[in-house]
C-alpha cells in the first residue's frame, strides 16, 4: 500500500477505535475541531496524570490532521500518546494509537510487533488486524496481509475492513473488485462522518484514474466534494484528473486552491509538471522545491516512495538511489522493489534493475507507472519485444499516468516501432 494511503487509513482507524463508529464546511468544521482540541488540552491541564486525557487529546489531534491535511499534528499526537503510555504502559487505547503511529512514521516492523502483542490480548478486536494488514502490505508480506484483512472482515465488516480488502484487490490487479469494495466502504460509513465518506469516495476515484477512466474518476471526486466541500484530497485528485484530460488551466486553479488551504506535496508536484510542460521552468522549479520542502518537514511521515521517484525523474539519481536502497532494505514490498529498479535504471545499471523490476510486478498490479518502468528497463536491456508490450500496456491502461513520464513512454515506444 502506498504510504499516503496507509497514513490516511490509520488515522481513520484511530477515530473508529475510540469513537465506535467506523474530510468540510471548512469554517464550521475547522472551528468545531479547533474547539475540541482546546477542550482536550484543558482536560489534560486539569488531569495531568490521566492517560485517558492524553489519549483523547491525541485522538482529536489526529482527527484535525486528517480533516485539514496538516499531518504535522501527528507529532503532537505522538507526544500525547507517549505521555499516556508513560503514565500507564498497559493502557489499551494508548497502545492502539501507538501501533497506528508506528505505521504513520514508517516503523512497520514495530507496528507488527505492537499489533501482534495487542492481538494476543484482544483476539477479537478488529482494529489490531487492520494495523497488521497495513504493516504486512508495506513490508511485502501479502499472504499475511490477506489473512489479517479476512480476519478483520469476519470480526467487523464495515468501512475500515472493506477499504483494506479493496486495496488488496487493487494490488492484485482486480480493478472491478477494488472499486466494488471501496464503494461498499463508502456506503458503510456514517453519513454524518463526511471526512471518512469523502476519503472512501476519493479512493474510488483514484482507482478509476489509475485505470484511465477519467470521466468516472472526476464524477466521484465531484461527489466527494459535494459530500465534503473543500476536501483537500478530492480537490487535488480532481486537479490531477483535469490535468490528465488536458485541461491544464482548470487543473492549475484547483491545485492552487488546494495549496491555499495548506501546502500539499502532491499539489506542488502536479503544478511543477504543469509549469514544466508549458516551458515555465522557473515556476516549475519553485513547485518542485516546495514538494521537497513539504516532504522534508513531514520527516518520517513523508511519502518516501513518491519522493524517491520524483528525485530520480528530476535527475537527483544518487540521492534517489541511496534512499531506494534504504527503503528496500527495510521492506520488501512491490513498491520498494519498483523504486530500486527504477533508480538503478536511472543510474545506468539496467541489468541490475531487471530482477527487482520482476519482483515488483509479481502480483500483477495494474499500475501504468510500474509498467512504464518495466518497459524502459526492458528497452535498455535490448529486450525490444517485451519493452514494446509493456510500454503499450502502460499507455493503454492510463495514457497520462504522469504528465512528464507519459510523454517519455510515447517517445520510447515510437523508437521501438
Q: Cell digits for 226?
A: 459535494
Question: What is the average pLDDT score of the chain?
Answer: 90
| pLDDT (0 to 100) of residue 27 | 28
Map out the domains of the chain as residue ranges.
1-156, 304-415
Domains 1-156 and 304-415 equal at CATH topology level: yes
Instruction: Please tell me the distance from the alpha carbon of residue 360 to that of residue 369, in angstroms, as a whole number.
Output: 12
Please list, in sequence order, all residues whose beta carbon lies within 8 angstroms of the beta carbon of residue 317, skipping any fewer than 6 positions away. 311, 343, 346, 347
Largest distance between two CA atoms of the chain: 73
Instruction: Please tell me the distance from the alpha carbon of residue 135 to that of residue 144, in angstroms, as a whole number.
Output: 10
CATH of the structural domain 304-415, one choice from 3.30.1330.50, 1.10.540.10, 1.25.40.10, 3.30.930.10: 1.25.40.10
| pLDDT (0 to 100) of residue 279 | 96
Q: How many CB atoms lie within 10 A of CB 278?
A: 12
Query: What's the residue count for the chain?
Result: 417
Q: Are 171 and 364 in contact (CB under 8 A)?
A: no
Q: Cell digits for 260?
A: 491555499
The CATH class for the domain spanning 1-156 reads mainly alpha
Q: Return phi, psi of residue 125, to 5°.
A: -95, 115
Instruction: Please tell me the distance from the alpha carbon of residue 270 to that of residue 272, in angstroms, as a whole number.
Output: 5
Quickly state the pLDDT bin for 299 (edges 50, 70, 90). confident
Q: Dihedral of the CA atoms 273, 371, 396, 313 (nearest 10)?
A: 10
| Residue 326 in this model has a pLDDT that exceeds 60 | yes
User: What is the percentage of the chain residues whose pLDDT exceeds 70?
Assistant: 92
Amino acid at each position: 500500500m502506498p504510504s499516503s494511503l496507509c497514513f490516511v487509513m490509520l488515522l481513520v482507524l484511530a477515530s473508529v477505535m475510540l469513537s465506535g463508529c467506523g474530510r468540510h464546511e471548512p469554517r464550521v468544521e475547522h472551528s468545531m475541531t479547533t474547539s475540541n482540541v482546546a477542550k482536550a488540552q484543558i482536560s489534560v491541564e486539569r488531569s495531568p496524570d490521566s492517560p485517558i486525557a492524553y489519549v483523547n487529546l491525541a485522538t482529536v489531534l489526529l482527527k484535525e490532521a486528517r480533516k485539514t491535511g496538516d499531518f504535522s499534528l501527528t507529532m503532537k499526537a505522538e507526544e500525547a500518546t507517549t505521555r499516556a503510555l508513560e503514565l500507564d504502559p498497559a493502557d489499551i487505547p494508548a497502545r492502539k494509537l501507538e501501533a497506528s503511529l508506528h505505521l504513520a512514521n514508517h516503523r512497520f516492523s514495530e507496528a507488527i510487533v505492537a499489533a501482534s502483542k495487542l492481538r494476543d490480548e484482544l483476539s477479537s478486536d478488529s482494529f489490531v488486524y487492520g494495523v497488521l494488514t497495513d504493516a504486512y502490505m508495506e513490508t511485502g508480506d501479502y499472504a499475511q496481509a490477506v489473512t489479517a484483512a479476512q480476519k478483520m472482515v469476519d470480526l467487523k465488516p464495515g468501512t475500515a475492513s472493506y477499504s483494506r480488502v479493496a486495496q488488496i484487490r487493487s494490488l492484485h490487479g482486480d480493478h472491478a473488485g477494488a472499486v466494488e469494495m471501496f464503494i461498499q466502504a463508502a456506503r458503510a460509513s456514517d453519513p454524518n462522518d463526511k471526512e471518512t465518506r469523502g476519503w472512501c469516495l476519493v479512493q474510488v476515484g483514484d482507482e478509476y484514474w489509475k485505470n484511465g477512466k477519467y470521466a468516472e474518476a472526476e464524477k466521484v471526486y465531484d461527489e466527494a466534494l459535494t459530500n465534503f466541500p473543500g476536501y483537500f484530497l478530492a480537490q487535488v485528485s480532481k486537479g490531477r484528473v483535469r490535468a490528465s484530460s488536458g485541461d491544464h488551466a482548470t487543473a492549475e486553479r484547483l491545485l492552487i486552491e488546494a495549496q491555499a488551504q495548506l501546502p500539499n506535496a502532491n499539489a506542488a508536484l502536479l503544478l511543477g509538471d504543469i509549469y514544466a510542460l508549458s516551458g515555465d521552468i522557473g515556476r516549475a522549479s519553485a513547485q518542485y522545491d516546495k514538494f521537497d520542502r513539504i516532504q522534508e518537514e513531514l520527516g518520517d511521515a513523508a511519502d518516501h516512495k513518491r519522493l524517491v521517484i520524483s528525485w530520480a525523474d528530476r535527475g537527483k539519481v544518487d540521492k534517489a538511489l541511496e534512499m531506494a536502497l534504504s527503503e528496500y532494505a527495510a521492506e520488501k514490498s512491490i513498491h520498494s522493489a519498483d523504486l530500486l529498479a527504477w533508480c538503478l535504471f536511472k543510474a545506468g545499471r539496467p541489468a541490475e534493475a531487471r530482477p527487482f523490476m520482476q519482483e515488483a510486478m509479481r502480483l500483477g498490479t495494474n499500475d501504468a507507472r510500474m509498467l512504464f518502468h518495466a518497459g524502459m528497463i526492458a528497452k535498455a536491456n535490448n529486450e525490444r519485444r517485451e519493452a514494446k508490450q509493456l510500454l503499450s500496456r502502460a499507455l493503454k491502461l492510463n495514457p497520462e499516468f504522469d504528465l512528464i513520464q507519459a510523454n517519455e513512454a510515447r517517445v520510447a515506444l515510437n523508437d521501438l516501432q
